Amino acid sequence: MSKIVFQHPRSLKHNIFHYCPGCGHSIVHRITCEVIDEMGIRGITIGVPPAGCAVLAYNYFDVDMIEAPHGRGPAMASGIKRSLPDRVVFSYQGDGDLAAIGMAESFHAANRGENITIIFINNAVYGMTGGQMAPTTMLNQRTTTSPLGRKQQLDGYPVKVSEIFSKIGGATYIERCSVSSPLHVNKTKKAIKKAFQCQIDGLGFSMVEVLSMCPTNWKMSSVDSCKWIDDVLGKEFPLGVYKDEIAALQNEAEAPA
Amino acid sequence: MNKVLMSGNFVIGEAAIRAGCRFYAGYPITPQNELTEYMAEHIRNAEGGVFIQSESEIAAINMIAGASAAGIRVMTSSSSPGISLKQEGISSMAACELPGIIVNIMRGGPGLGNIRPSQGDYFQATRGGGHGDYRTIVLAPASGQELADLTMDAFDLADKYRTPVMILADGMMGQMMEPVIFKKPKPRHYNEKFMLRGAGDGKSKFIRGLLLDPIDSEEHNWKLFRKYEIIKKNEPRFEEHRIADAEAVIVAYGTAARIAKGAIKRLREHNLKLGLFRPISLWPFPEMQLRSLAAQVKKFIVFEMSTGQMLEDVRLALQGYADVEFHGRPGGAVPTPAELANVISKICDKRD
């Protein structure tokens, strides 16, 4: 008897990704769809794609989706989730979307403990608009709007979203992962699954930050991009679990009154 | 049903909840705070009712957009500077054809202006307000009773045309107390196929405003345009007051129309035969109805609590068939009926 060990995820449409070769978005799309399949939640999942390269995510995710104006995904997701508390609602956002224009919306969604999940793609640049400096751009990193490199005196510092969000009372589960290697891809998938489970269990706000390659705007090969995440970006943004209140909240829920 | 005495902001909140509004998000700003507070207290008593105090007006409009997509009747409210912030979301809701109610309790502007009643947001309200080729239905109540009735109607119109609808009132309307009877709301007709509630076992849906292909985008714009043309044909609302024997007609809406009625009463005591044409829907503007009046009246006096915005729509409607004069007080100054009566009697003297 043969057993299926690998197949096209049911929740992933059969469209060819428009993403550049070596881009991390398609990997995160795929593993998110695998998680949706494995958890059997395709029919109750609603996704909110951002403005940015992933604006066309509805061409790939075979779940209900509504596009949010730039940065407003967490507000929109809050509105959907509060209206339909038994659905799984996630907002998919980039670094500019979440940590610049949408910082207020994401911060306060976390602080309200909205029972939603944010999948946060950190690739240190604005990808779709052509590689401008993002809030997460590294110091001295050259971009089209920091041609001499990001200078802290003028441009400030890379915004450490997971570190900041881990201090927010309403946040339950915050983890930073990467998709720079198969090992890390698997870890990211586990984190997304854990975040969705946190939401399904009604435990509150979860966010998975994913360090993701942008070879086109980094002006690197795909292989060098993966290496740059491991050697450089990952040093500024260390991987790991920044907050995990899941077990504590579960115990609290199970404790006799 | 019994008459109840309520302030305007409360009336809007109560009418919305009775009309089936089950999601409200808002951010504090004077002079509409009582509406947010009313919703905080009362919407939760309705089954499924959700109140969120948002971190900004931008977040509020996007919260209601999300809830609207989920198939819920939604409302947000603010005052002038806050409405400017909401424009991104209003444009987005128009593009995505999401119904929802936006209440603007106008205050003095531009900028932070002041918190006095004003009508300076007419252009913003009736011209779409945000970016892109779209319109929003704009209803301008002029009494507590109309606040109740038009709020309920706004939800039906928003669903019928799948478009955001704005209630445009001002601080005077919001703060003033009047007796009100709440009518029985109509049952909701909104097709489930427009709701985003998870694909179940079926095909997934998406709602978007981004159309990268210019031909697709053009067709979407024409589709919206055709919808707006139907609204323009079917939904103009207006009131005529003492028009039958009028030799000159004041055109005013909202609070200004109430002041105008007071002025007309005074002027008629001095044998000046004035009437009032009051647009109730500011978009669609009751253009043909006003134009047909020009067959009997040759002098129109536009009165607004602004430097003259609806004035342009009146000129467009009258197309030179009659003289158009204007009196306005911007920036939160509210003229008395006596002041307006004086101004109008001078305008009428000038002609004679």
Is residue A2 very low, low, confident or very high in pLDDT (cuts 50, 70, 90)?
confident
Q: Report CB contact under 8 Å: A80, B92.
A: no
What is the Cα–Cα distance from B295 to B248, expressed in whole angstroms? 12
Average of pLDDT values for B76-98? 98
What is the Cα–Cα distance from A73 to A90, expressed in whole angstroms? 9
Smallest CA–CA distance, residue A4 to chain B, in Å, is: 22
What is the Cα–Cα distance from B152 to B215, expressed in whole angstroms? 37
Name which of B39, B62, B195, B205 to mutate to probe chain A: the one with the most chain A Cβ atoms within 10 A of its Cβ.
B62
pLDDT of residue B63: 98
Is residue A257 very low, low, confident or very high in pLDDT (cuts 50, 70, 90)?
low
Residue B350 has pLDDT above 90, yes or no: no
One DSSP character per residue, B200-244 reads TTS---EE-----SHHHHHHHHHHHHHHHHHHHHH---EEEES-T
Encode pLDDT of A28-71 as tens digits.
Answer: 999 999 999 999 999 999 999 999 999 999 999 999 999 999 99
Name which of A64, A81, A107, A111 to mutate to probe chain B: the one with the most chain B Cβ atoms within 10 A of its Cβ.
A64
What is the Cα–Cα distance from A128 to A255, expressed in whole angstroms? 48
**Distances in whole angstroms, Cα of residue B8 to Cα of each of B14, B118, B166, B258, B279:** 10, 15, 16, 15, 19
Domain ranges of chain A: 25-254
Smallest CA–CA distance, residue A24 to chain B, in Å, is: 22
CATH number of B4-234: 3.40.50.970
CATH number of B239-351: 3.40.50.920
Contacts of A14 (CB under 8 A, 6+ apart): A8
Q: What does DSSP say about strands A171-178 and A240-244: parallel, antiparallel, or unpaired?
A: antiparallel
Average of pLDDT values for B24-47? 97
Q: Report CB contact under 8 Å: B55, A108.
A: yes
Q: Report CB contact under 8 Å: B206, A64.
A: yes
Encode pLDDT of A170-219 as tens digits.
Answer: 999 999 999 999 999 999 999 999 999 999 999 999 999 999 999 999 99
Is residue A253 very low, low, confident or very high in pLDDT (cuts 50, 70, 90)?
confident
Q: Which chain A residue shows the shortest CA-CA distance from B69?
A: A80
Range list of H helices, chain B: 8-18, 33-42, 57-69, 80-96, 122-126, 144-161, 171-175, 214-234, 254-269, 287-293, 310-318, 337-351
Residue B259 has pLDDT above 80, yes or no: yes
Chain A residues within 8 A of B210 when measuring between CB atoms = 51, 55, 67
Mean pLDDT of chain B: 97
The string over A105-142, giving b where at least 16 C-beta atoms fall within 10 Å of a residue's C-beta and e elsewhere, is bbbbbbebebbbbbbbbbbbbbbbeebbbbbbbbeebb
Question: pLDDT > 70: what percent of chain B?
Answer: 99
What is the Cα–Cα distance from B169 to B139, expressed in whole angstroms? 8
Element (H, E) at B52: strand B50-53
Question: pLDDT > 70: what percent of chain A?
Answer: 100
pLDDT of residue B188: 96
Q: Report CB contact under 8 Å: A46, B71.
A: no
pLDDT of residue B84: 98
Smallest CA–CA distance, residue A71 to chain B, in Å, is: 10
Encode pLDDT of B169-202 as tens digits.
Answer: 999 999 999 999 999 999 999 999 999 999 999 9
DSSP state of B180: E
pTM recorded for the entire structure: 0.97
Work out whether the CA dihedral B15, B34, B100, B53 comes out positive or negative.
Answer: negative
Residue A3 has pLDDT above 70, yes or no: yes
pLDDT of residue B351: 53
Domain ranges of chain B: 4-234, 239-351
Q: Which CATH class is domain A25-254?
A: alpha beta
Name which of A82, A97, A101 to mutate to probe chain B: the one with the most chain B Cβ atoms within 10 A of its Cβ.
A82
Which residues does residue A241 pair with via DSSP β-bridges, in sequence order? Answer: A175
Are domains B4-234 and B239-351 of this chain identical in fold? yes
> Is the Cβ of A66 closer than 8 Å to some Cβ of chain B?
yes
Q: What does DSSP say about strands A45-48 and A64-66: parallel, antiparallel, or unpaired?
A: parallel
Is residue A5 very low, low, confident or very high in pLDDT (cuts 50, 70, 90)?
confident
Q: Report CB contact under 8 Å: A83, B70.
A: yes
